[in-house]
Homo-oligomer: A and B are copies of this chain.
């Protein structure tokens, strides 16, 4: 019996879509207003979903308090109220599109889970635009 356990989390951050190896004109031509050099920002909302067998003793797939703590330590404390381009090292040479952010988040959480657990991360940039990654 494999069950998926999901936990929502969130962080607020500034970013711009930007490649260092392109000048501002090219960045704006490709990324439009999302590449504003003065940045814009989002309330990023996150769903972290872990799939595995139910532990017969506890009735848990994973203690959700532990999952919440992993997400707080490795994601929220790392991204919240930050400028992703300037202050989050993973984006020093990586364009912080929603697609790239969700892969970074997946890679930061996965090592803290038991290998038998599958992970899927959904990231809402807005309520109407969102991305999902499960390591495949």
Contact = CB atoms under 8 A, between A and B. Distances in A.
A70 interface: no
Interface string A3-16: 11111101011110
Contacts of A41: 12-15, 39-42
Question: Max chain B CB contacts within 10 Å: which of A43, A60, A98?
Answer: A43
Interface residues on A, range: 35 or more
Nearest to A64: B129
Contacts of A95: 58-59
Interface of A: 1-8, 10, 12-15, 17, 19, 30-34, 36, 38-43, 49, 54, 57-61, 64-65, 80-83, 86-87, 94-100, 102-103, 126-133, 136
